[in-house]
Amino acid sequence: MRDDHIISAKQLSRSDIEAVLDRAAEIADDPGAVADSKDGELLGLLFFEPSTRTKMSFTTAMKRLGGDTVDMGSVESSSVKKGESLADTVRVIEGYADALVLRHPSEGSAKLASDFVDVPVINAGDGAGQHPTQTLLDLYTIRENAGFDDLTIGIMGDLKYGRTVHSLAHALTNFDASQHFISPESLRLPRSVRYDLHEAGAQVREHTDLEDVLGTLDVLYVTRIQRERFPDENEYRQVAGEYRIDTELLERANDDLTVMHPLPRVDEIAPDVDGTEYATYFEQAHNGVPVRMALLEELL
């Protein structure tokens, strides 16, 4: 990986990914060893959309490296409201920071920003586009809990929208994982994503019923089904109920199944799963810190 910009998970080769995950694992084992490595360096945070965990995770990662952050604040309190272009905003802010983290509602915005500045840009979500550091922490969690060898993974829920799923599925084509996609008909993977996955050598197997594959899975990646995708409240309730995980259902799973979720969760995973060995979603969120530390260490 060149030390310039992190725009898309698609730019990362298998060896790029493994280098980041290896370094993240070293950092997680001994965070004290890097506690001062970015002393005096500043990470610019440009979040044009709300975010809790991504922003806090980057902040924590930078500060655990001994560095600090400079935050643009909310769009409501920024010059954007005065009609400033994104290109101008990032060219000003590159004067304040040694790297920029950008979340923006428009697909392609991170790429555009990277064309205008000399400091590294990290895409923290560009609309329906990419969110590569989420993919890296997902991969890290999979590797730590199930490994990539002979991996069978189920990805369930809203597969139509949601850059997280598309990006993860694409990244997994680097590892010859066996991927199963479980969703209601109305929320299946978009044709373009299926095509991309085929092109990358993946075999896309789709299911409407989790129980068809549950017993074969090493990892089950659950996503949130959003109410606003359904015009009819009753239809939403029925679908959400069918794609909900609880301990009773998990009795038909492998004993060492790893259950993941990008969070926030609403009802997709019953609280009684939280205390089981399956539950890996909070650990997954926490893994964002060493993964982002490894990336920042490399970029800065």
So which residues are the catalytic ones?
53-54, 82, 103, 131
Kindly state the smallest distance separating residue 184's Cβ from a second copy, in Å: 20
Decide if residue 97 touches a second copy (CB under 8 A): yes
* Member of 1, 19, 28, 42 binding a second copy (CB under 8 A): 42
Nearer to a second copy, 114 or 173 (CB): 114
Nearer to a second copy, 14 or 87 (CB): 87
Within 137-156, which residues bind a second copy (CB under 8 A)? none
Decide if residue 64 touches a second copy (CB under 8 A): yes
Decide if residue 50 touches a second copy (CB under 8 A): yes
* Member of 3, 13, 33, 35 binding a second copy (CB under 8 A): 35
Kindly state the smallest distance separating residue 144's Cβ from a second copy, in Å: 14
Decide if residue 81 touches a second copy (CB under 8 A): yes
Decide if residue 88 touches a second copy (CB under 8 A): yes
Within 181-220, which residues bind a second copy (CB under 8 A)? none
Kindly state the smallest distance separating residue 287's Cβ from a second copy, in Å: 8
Q: How many Cα atoms sit within 13 Å of 172 on the Cβ side?
A: 33
Within 254-273, which residues bind a second copy (CB under 8 A)? 263-266, 271
* Member of 70, 200, 249, 270 binding a second copy (CB under 8 A): 70
3-state secondary structure the chain: CCCCCECCHHHCCHHHHHHHHHHHHHHHHCHHHHCCCCCCCEEEEEECCCCCHHHHHHHHHHHHCCCEEEECCCHHHCHHHHCCCHHHHHHHHCCCCCEEEEEECCCCHHHHHHHHCCCCEEEEEECCCCCHHHHHHHHHHHHHHCCCCCCEEEEECCCCCCHHHHHHHHHHHHHCCEEEEECCHHHCCCHHHHHHHHHCCCCCEEECCHHHCHHHCCEEEECCCCHHHCCCHHHHHHHHHHCCECHHHHCCCCCCCEEECCCCCCCCECHHHCCCCCECHHHHHHHHHHHHHHHHHHHC
State the residues that interact with a second copy by CB under 8 A.
35, 40, 42, 44, 47, 50-53, 55-57, 59-60, 63-64, 66, 68, 70-74, 76-84, 87-89, 91-93, 95-97, 224, 263-266, 271, 282, 285-286, 288-289
